Structure 1
Amino acid sequence: MADGLLVLTADRVFDSATGRCAPDLAVVCSGAQVDAVVPVAQAPADGDVVRGGPVRRLDLPGHTLLPGLVDCHTHLVGEAESGQGYAHLVTRSSAQEVLVGVENARRTLRAGFTTVRDVGSFRAFADVALRDAVAAGWVEGPRMLCAGAYVTCPGGAGDVTGLAVDVDAVVPAELRFGVCSGPDAVRATVRRVLGRGADVVKVLATGAVLTAGTAPGAPELTAAEIAAAVEVATDHGTHVAAHAHGAEGIRRAVLAGVRSVEHGSLLDAGTVALMAEHGTYLVADLYDGDWILEQGPRLGFSEEVMRKTRDTTQAQRDGFAAAVDAGVRIAYGTDSGVYPHGDNGRQLAYYVRHGLTPAQALLSATRWAAELLGLEHEIGRLAPGLAADVVAVPGDPTVDVTGCERPALVVRAGRVVLGPVAG
C-alpha cells in the first residue's frame, strides 16, 4: 500500500501498552508505519483519496487486531529436527539449508510472526544471508535478528557431535565457526561473529536435549567465558542469549550479565530469584516437549533424546510457573524447527496453562518481546510511527489465546501477506 493508506478495523484492538482490548478503533497504516489509531467513525472509507493516494479499507468483524507477533527463539535455517544428532549436517550444503529456510520464513510470517530473533544455525551465517534476503524483499519472511553461529565449547551443545573419530577432524569450518575454549578465545570468536553480520550473540552455557552426548544439566562454559561474551557484545551495543537448561549454567549466565536465558528447563528457587533480581528474561519453549514426546517415536528420535525430553519437560513447566510467580521477565520464544515452522502460535496456550493470563501471554509475544530485543520503539505496539505489522485473529485473544493459531490477516511493514488483497 505504498501509494495510499491501509485502514484496518475489527471488533477490538489489543493495546499492548495496557494489556487490554479497546473497541471501536481503526488502525491506519501509511507505507511501512502506523499512521494513526483512531475511532472507526474517523477512519477513511474504502476508495477515498487521502494525501493524493487511494485508501484500501479492510473490515474484519468478529476479529481482534494485534501488533505483529514476535518469536524470540527460532531456527529458520535448515530442516526440522530429526532427533538423531547433528552428524547428518555434513550431508547437506549451505545452499540446501538456506533454501529450506526460505520456506520456513514464509510459514512463520503467515502464522502472524512478523519479527523473530533467530538464535543460531550450524551453517554459520546462513541465517544472516536469509535475513538480508528478506530485508531486500527477495523472499517473504519476518524481520530477523540473527546470531550467526553458536558460541560453544568443543564437543558441546552447539558442536557437531556423534561423528566417527577418523572424520571428526575434517568437518567443514562453517559447521564449527563458534567452537572455542577459554575467555580470550571466546572474545575473539564473538568479535568474528558480530563482525560477519550477526545482530546478537548466542552462547551455549549447558548441554542440550537434542545434541548427542551432552547433558542438559551440565555446565559447558565457565563463568569467565560467558562474561567474556557479554563484554564483547556490550561493547558492540548488543546482547547475549544463553542456552541454559541446568541451574548452575543458568546461575553463571545470569551473573555474567546475559540478556536472556533460553529454555531454563531445570530452574530452581535460587536461580529463579537470581533472574528476578537481575532482570534477566526467560525465554521458555514449553510446547517442544509435547511435540517430541508425541511425534518423536514416529520420526525416529533417539532414545537419548526421548529420555532427556522426559527429564526436562515437566520440570521446565514447573520452573516457568515459579518464574512467573517471582516476577521474572518473560519473552515469547518457541524453538521453532523442533516442531514444524508455522505452528509458533500454539505455545501461547502453554504460557497461559503454566502461569500467565491470556493478556500477559500476548504481551510476552508483543511488547515484552520487543523490549527484550531492544526494538520497543519500532515494534510490539500499534502506535503512530511504529512498524505497520498487524495481525487479525478470530475472537478475543485476551479470553482465548488459541485464536492466535489461526490468523485471518497478516500485515508486514504495511503489506498484506495473508488475507484479503494479499500481495
Structure 2
Amino acid sequence: MKLSIKPFLILSIVFNASLAFAQPDPQVATLYENVRVFDGTSEKLTPPTNVLVVNNLIKTISAKPIQIPAGTTATVIAGGGRTLMPGLSDAHTHIWLTPTMDEILKGDVKQLNAAASATAKSMLMNGWTTVRDMAGPVFQLKSDIDSGKTIGPRIYPSGTMITQTSGHGDFSAPEALPRSLGGPLSIGEQLRISSVVDGRAQVLTATRFNLRNGATQIKLATSGGVSSPADTPTVHEFTADEIKAAVEAASDFGTYVSVHAYNIESVRRSVEAGVKVIEHGQLLDEPTIKYLKNKNIWLSTQNFEEFSAPYTPFQIHKEHQVVMGESNVFKWALQNNIKLAWGTDFFFQPDGVVQNIQLSKMKKWMTPARALKMVTHDNAQLFALSGPRNPYTEGKLGVVQEGAYADLLLVDGDPTVNLEIVADPAKNFRVIMKDGKIFKNTL
C-alpha cells in the first residue's frame, strides 16, 4: 500500500521546523546606569556613563541613555556615580596550594580539591575574575568553573612546574633516589604539583604531559627559590639545551614557556633559549632589565614581604635576599617601560583577601591608575600569549570596551586615586560580575 502525503503538509512541517531553528536564544542583559568607567588603560575615570551588557559581552557604552533591546530580560543597576572597572587578574597564583604546607604534605587529594574549590570561590568574591595558575592540578577545577558547576575565576593553567633534580620544585627527601635511578615519585609529583626531570628527553615528556592535560602555557624553574629545600635564588638550573627543549615543545603547540628565575645568569640563559616570560626577577640589575626590554620579554613579578611562618631559618634568609632586590627592579622596570605583569605568587595562605592587600601596596612604586592597568589590561595581554591554546577568545579580557567580556566590578569610590579601596572588597566591591553573570550585588 502506498502512503499519500499532501504537498501542503510537507511545506507546513518544513516551515514550522525552520521557525523552531530560527528562534534566537532569549537574551539576558544588565544595564549599568550613571557609572564612571575605568576602562583598563586610562589614568582617569570617564564622565557619567551607561554600560549595557548582553549575555556575556559588553554591548554598548554611551553617555546617552541606552535602550534595552526588545525581548530581553534585563537587570538595571543604578550606579550612583560609582566606578565600573574590569575584574582584577592575578598573573601568578597557585589555587591548589593555598592550604598550609602540613595539610598539603598529608596528600589527601579529596580535601585538597575541596580547598581549591573554596579558594577559587573566595578569589572571585574578592574581585579576581581571571588568574594564571603557575603550578598545580587545576584542570578539573577550571573545567568545573567554565561549565558553571562551581564558582571561581577564569583559569589559565600551567599544570606541573617542571624542575630539575635538586631544583626549586624538588621536594624529595635528601637521600631519596631520583626516579631515573630507580627512586619513587616525590610528593610534589604524586600530587601533580611538579615534574622532576633531567635531560632533554625528560623535559620534552614533562612539557608534552602538561600540554596533553590542557596547559595554556608551560612553567620551568630555571633558578633556585625561597620555598624549596635544596637551593637558593642565586642557583642556576637547567642547561640551555634543556630549556630549549621545553620552548620547542611549547612552540609546536602554539604557546610559550614562562620561567621561575630570580638571578641574572638564569634569566639571560632562559631568554637566549627562547623563553618569553620571566617570573619574579627580584635579583636582576638594570642592564638585565634593559636586556629584557630589548628582547621584548615580559617580566611577571610580585611585591613580596618578609615573614616567618611557615618558613625555616634558611627559607627566611632567602626571602630576605629577594625582598631586598624588589624595589630596584620595580623602579628600573617602570623607568625602562618594559612589559610588566603582576601576580601574588599566592600559596600557603588560606585567607584569600591577601591578594587585594598586596595589590593595594603597589602604591609604593606606582600610581594607583598604573597599578590597576597592570592587573587588568596588561595582565590580559600576557595571557593572550597562549595563542591558539587561549580558552577565552569570544571577547577581550581586562578592559571595559564594547565587545569585551563582561567581567566587571562596581566599586565605591575612585580606586584610580585611592588604591586602598581594593584592599577591602567585602565593603567596597558592590557588584561583582563575571562572564555577564552577577555573583554579588549589595546595592
TM-score class, shorter: 0.7 to 0.9
Aligned match of 1:109: 124
Deviations 1:97-125 (A, max 9, x none): 2211001101111111101110112xxxx
CA positional deviation for 1:215 = 0.6
Q: CA deviation at 1:346?
A: 2.2
Superposition map of 1:147-162 within 5 A: 147-162=158-173
The equivalent of 1:98 in structure 2 is 113
- Return the TM-score normalized by structure 1: 0.88
CA distance in 2, matches of 1:259, 1:50: 44
In the aligned structure 2, how far is the partner of 1:79 from the partner of 1:347?
16
Deviation at 1:251, TM superposition (A): 1.3
Match for residue 138 of structure 1 among 129, 146, 149: 149
* 8 Å contact kept, 2:91–2:300: yes
Partner of 1:252, secondary structure, is helix
Q: CA deviation at 1:81?
A: 4.7
Q: Quick check: 2:54–2:436 contact (8 Å CA) kept in 1?
A: yes
Question: Helix, strand or coil for the counterpart of 1:226?
Answer: helix
CA contact (8 A) 2:39 2:401 kept: no
Percent of paired sites with the same residue: 27
The aligned amino acid for 2:422 is: C
Tell me the number of residue pairs that the alignment of Structure 1 and Structure 2 aligns: 400
- List, as ranges, runs of 4+ consecutive aligned residues in structure 1 with deviation greater than 6 Å: none
> What is the distance in 1 between the residues matched to 2:310 and 2:131?
29
The residue aligned with 1:328 is: 338
Q: Which residue does 1:18 correspond to in 2?
A: 42
Residues 167-176 or 365-374, more deviating:
167-176
Please give the secondary structure, in 2, of the residue aligned with 1:392: strand
* Amino acid paired to 1:73: H
* In 1, Cα distance between equivalents of 2:276 and 2:112: 28
Give 1:9 shift. 3.5
Q: Does 1:193 align with 2:210?
A: yes
TM-score (norm 2): 0.84
Q: Does residue 395 of structure 1 match 2:413?
A: yes
Please identify the structure whose Cα radius of gyration is greater: 2
Unaligned runs of 5+ in 2: 1-25, 385-391
Aligned runs of 1:36-185 on 2, under 5 Å?
A: 36-39=60-63, 41-44=64-67, 50-61=69-80, 63-82=82-101, 89-121=104-136, 126-162=137-173, 165=176, 169=184, 171=186, 173-175=189-191, 178-185=195-202
Q: Which amino acid aligns with 2:263?
A: G
Q: 1:150 to 1:107 in 2, by over 3 A?
A: same
**2:292 equivalent to 1:275:** yes
Q: Distance in 2 between matches of 1:232 and 1:99?
A: 33
Matched residue, 2:397: 379
Partner of 1:366: 376
RMSD: 2.4
Whole-angstrom distance in 1 between the partners of 2:352 and 2:133: 13
Distance 1:95 1:155 in 2: 29
CA distance in 2, matches of 1:215, 1:162: 17
**Is residue 31 of structure 2 the alignment partner of residue 7 of structure 1?**
yes
Structure 2 residue aligned with 1:228: 245
Shift of 1:415: 0.8
- Aligned counterparts of 2:375 and 2:98: Cα–Cα separation in 1: 24
Letter in 1 for 2:356: G
For the pair 1:306 / 2:322, whether they are aligned, the reply is no
2:305 paired residue number? 289
**In 1, Cα distance between equivalents of 2:111 and 2:368:** 39
Distance 1:188 1:164, change over 3 A: closer
